Structure formats: C-alpha cells, structure tokens
Amino acid sequence: MSAALNRQDNQILRSFQKVCRVLEKENDFLSELKFQKIADLLPSKQKEITALESALVERAKILAETGQQDAPLPTDVEKAAQAFKDLIATNQEKLQNAVETQNSVIQLILEAAQESTTGYAASGHYVQDQRAQGAMTLRSDV
C-alpha cells in the first residue's frame, strides 16, 4: 500500500470518528427532545460529512491513479464505517420518534384549542365552552 493511500485511509478514519461524535450528540439531544440543540449541531454535522465525502473521493482518486480500484478499506476503517452506519440507523429511529412526539403535542394543542374556544354566549356572559357559543347561532331573533 502506498504512503498516500495509507495517509488517506487515516484521514477517512478520523473523518468517520468526527461524524460519529456529532451523530452521538444529536442522538442524545433527540432522546431528550432538545430541538434547538439539534439545530445548533447542523452546521457541524454538515462540515464533518462534507469532509468525510471529500476524503472518500480523494481515496478513490488515489486508487484510480495507482490502478488499485478494488483495494479494500483497512479493518479499522471498516469498523468505523459500520459504527457510522449503526449510528445513522439509530439517528433515523430517534428522528422518527421525535417527529411523532412533536406531532402528538401539536395535535393535543389543536384539540384543546378547539374544545375550549372562548366567547360570549346568548345570555351575554363570557364562556369557554364551544357548545354554549353555538346557542348564539341557533337563535336568529337575538
């Protein structure tokens, strides 16, 4: 293996490790439903993923130049790639759970808002029951 390829594999390993650290933080924040902190991580996550993609492209160039297109990744890089894949799967699951939780909260708020609409009843009193407000619409002579 050439020195350039060896350096590139080390760069890929470091990139995988950095991306995984960001994903671990994001997964922790997803578990805690800390959406603002998740949003704050986005630039860091994009930066690390871009660096990983660049490192992988550079490795492919090195392999093409040396005629070693079929050279496998070193074992430690393969393990890092598997850890990345596992974190992505966990991340997707936690994202789905967070979205479902947020949708449930929104639905509860909407239902509560519909049930407790405030206004004036036909008697002129201020009420919070939607059914009492309906009395105003039933009587056309008021």
Q: What is the pLDDT along the chain (142 residues), one digit of tens a residue?
A: 588 889 999 999 999 999 999 999 999 999 998 989 999 999 999 999 999 999 999 999 999 998 888 888 899 999 999 999 999 999 999 999 988 988 898 888 887 766 655 666 667 776 665 444 444 444 455 4
CA dist., res. 127 & res. 132, Å (int): 7
Does residue 118 contact residue 102 with C-beta atoms inside 8 Å?
Answer: no
Is residue 134 assigned to a domain?
Answer: no
Range of the structural domain that residue 48 is part of: 3-116
Domain CATH for 55: 1.20.58
Domain count, the chain: 1
C-alpha separations of 12 from 18, 21, 34, 70 in Å: 10, 14, 30, 17
